[in-house]
Amino acid sequence: MIKNLLFISIFSGLLIGCKQDDITPSWLAIEEFTLTSNEATQGANSQGISDAWIFMDGTALGVFELPCKLPVLDEGTHNFIIFPGIKNNGISSTRIRYPFYNSYQVEASLALNDTLHLSPNTTYKSETIFAFNEAFEEPGIGFIKGPTSDTDMVFVDDPAIVEYGDECGAIFLAGTDSLYTGSTTSFMLLPKGGADVYMELDYRNNNSLAMGVIARFADGSVDEHTPYIIMNAQPDGQEIWKKIYIDLTEDVSTEIAAVSYEIFFLAVRDGEIDESRIYIDNVRVVHF
């Protein structure tokens, strides 16, 4: 629906003021974005870019769900800038440019009645700081279970499950193991004052998974926030890997006196299924 609405809006706008005999368009097709990361320092090339924010010669053409194809009433050589867009907190109605990805820029030619195909690539901005980066490829897991947890997060190396690298993290809930709570083992120093802070996460689950922020203070006290985001369960037996970008900016900035932060996960077994399976990978907390 978003793609169609934007298509109609942009096309209608391009037609305004044009002569009836001068409406033959060129076509611009944008394929899926790819991400090139430094796997040693930034983790796998895992991304969930859903949209393209397209500019031609400094003029906005619109925001389009990928892949897309749009008419342009022009021809010849032009400069295109395409910004990677995401669903903020996984919500389709809150689409933004992801602040940590670079834009894609190219000079290319349009021809009437022909289609220019672009396959944009992006990288993390050089100033991006990875405050936490768990790819489950090294010994030891960057999460420690809480005192009330019935089970622990474990490694899984089943190639039928793992999407990136050789291993991912997993939480299994069955029988009396009905509750998982766990938090990051490292205390993160995160910026306040409204600076962008995001958590990236790949997940595959037949049981809901909640996450939130723990603020730690100089006197040793902590404030464990109400779970911020809940990733709903996927149909049992039909789970696929999904990517979510979770905006932690407000949650972090409200704790002005905090000296460090942790991320926690919470899962309660859904009794309607025999075994709850939650797989996670590429957990990153990024900021500038």
Range 187-208 average pLDDT: 97
Name the pLDDT band for 4 (thresholds 50, 70, 90).
Answer: very low
Q: What's the pLDDT at 272?
A: 84
Entry pTM: 0.91
Given a cut of 60, whether residue 97 has pLDDT beyond it is yes
Strand partners, 11: none
Which amino acid makes up residue 252?
Answer: V
**217-237 mean pLDDT:** 94
Q: Mean pLDDT, to the nearest integer, of 36-51?
A: 96
Q: Give me the chain's average pLDDT, please.
A: 92
Supply the pLDDT for residue 228: 84
- DSSP output for 138-153: SSS-SEEE-TT-SS--
pLDDT above 90: residue 244: yes
pLDDT confidence band for 40 (50 / 70 / 90): very high
- Biggest CA pair distance of the chain: 74
Query: What residues does 105 pair with on adjacent strands?
Result: 81
* Topology, domain 2-122: Immunoglobulin-like (2.60.40)
Query: Following DSSP, what letter does each residue of 196-229 receive, concatenated?
Result: -EEEEEEEEESS-EEEEEEEE-TTS-EEE----E
Q: What is the spatial distance between Cα 106 and Cα 143, in angstroms, rounded to a whole number?
A: 42
CATH class, 129-287 region: mainly beta
* pLDDT, position 3: 54
**Cβ partners under 8 Å of residue 97, min gap 6:** 53, 83, 84, 85, 86
Answer whether residue 145 shows pLDDT above 70. Answer: yes
Q: Could you tell me the residue ranges of all domains in the chain?
A: 2-122, 129-287
Reported as a pLDDT band with limits 50, 70 and 90, residue 227 is: confident
pLDDT tens digit sequence for 246-261: 999 999 999 999 999 9
Instruction: Tell me how far CA of residue 147 lies from CA of 82, 113, 182, in angstroms.
Output: 47, 65, 9
Q: What is the spatial distance between Cα 199 and Cα 69, in angstroms, rounded to a whole number?
A: 31
